[in-house]
Amino acid sequence: MRTAAALFPVLGAWVVMGCRSLAPAADLALRVEAVEVLRSGLKCGEFWPSMHAAEGMTRAGLAQDVKTALLPQWATETDDQRRCGLARELVRAGADEPSRVFVDILRDPESNGHTHACESLFKIGRIGDRKEVFQAMLRGDPVLEIMAAAALVLDGDPRPLARVRAHVSHPDVRVRRTAVWVLGQLGNRRDLPALRALAAAESDRLARAFCWNALALLGDEEARPIVVTDLRDPDHTVRTYAAQGVGEWGGAEHLPLLREVLRDPHVDARIRAAEAIVRILKRP
């Protein structure tokens, strides 16, 4: 009798790892569909969606495919923001050498990649040079300050989280949206009242969705159905972040809606839904 790994080669590593050694055939087929969306996204020609696809591929156990696709780009890319994206996904896929680029970029006063470098250090959970990140936090750019603070907090110093909380009500929507996103990752239940109040008062549709996503990630049971509803929002960016959020905390009951988003007309929404499916199917 042939095994599931033999019948579905793309699933072999996943089955061997024991994520669901007796997964139903429907789960196997859905994972195949999700991985194909990620593979397509990796080659889509849109840079940041392709980085998101790389993240999902690594999470699906296909890190070697990520390195094969991104190392040639890494060798030729000159834009520091994109270099951060490539380095981040290569490091997540197990290629260590690109990790040196983040501190190099922070040390370059002319670089356009300071915020991307701090965001990448936060996302990979490897800060490197604390001094450079701390100095970046003090440069007066509020979005850079938030991302540098996030990296420092993840490195074990909770004090910079106060800087993130201070920007949650910033008048610039981009700043408060970034602060809310980080607070969803690093905050706790004491942040729920402020986030609920901001969600109720927020006039910007995407920023309001960020509030609900952060609340849902912090365990607010009233927020989670709202985020699920956002999977069908008319705004494709809202759908994209909703898919990402549901992947963080969702369960098998959310798979049918996420499967719908696999056919979304916008590539990044499809990619985030695919990664969310991979994450949910890996859970016991």
Predicted pLDDT at 190: 94
Predicted pLDDT at 96: 84
Q: What pTM was computed for the model?
A: 0.89
The answer to whether 254 touches 280, Cβ cutoff 8 Å, is yes
| Residue 240, H or E segment | helix 236-249
Taking CA atoms, 9 is separated from 2, 42, 62, 77, 251, in Å, by: 12, 19, 12, 33, 25
| pLDDT in 10s for each residue of the chain, 284 residues | 333 433 344 444 443 334 444 468 889 999 999 999 999 999 999 999 999 999 999 999 999 999 999 999 999 999 999 999 999 999 999 998 898 999 999 999 999 999 999 999 999 998 878 999 999 999 999 999 999 999 999 999 999 999 999 999 999 999 999 999 999 999 999 999 999 999 999 999 999 999 999 999 999 999 999 999 999 999 999 999 999 999 999 999 999 999 999 999 999 999 999 999 999 999 88
Distance, in Å, from the CA atom of 199 to the CA atom of 177, rounded to the nearest integer, reads 11
Predicted pLDDT at 26: 87
Token representation of residue 218: 């912090």
Residue type (1 letter), 35: V
Taking CA atoms, 139 is separated from 125, 132, 182, 204, 240, in Å, by: 22, 11, 19, 27, 31
Token representation of residue 48: 């940041």
Helix axes 25-42, 267-282, angle to 10 degrees: 140
Predicted pLDDT at 23: 60
Predicted pLDDT at 129: 80
Residue type (1 letter), 228: V
The answer to whether 187 touches 202, Cβ cutoff 8 Å, is no
Number of C-beta neighbours around residue 22 at 10 A: 7
Domains of the chain: 1-76+252-284 (no CATH), 77-162 (1.25.10)
- The conformational region for residue 204 under phi > 0 = left, psi -120 to 50 = alpha, else beta, is beta
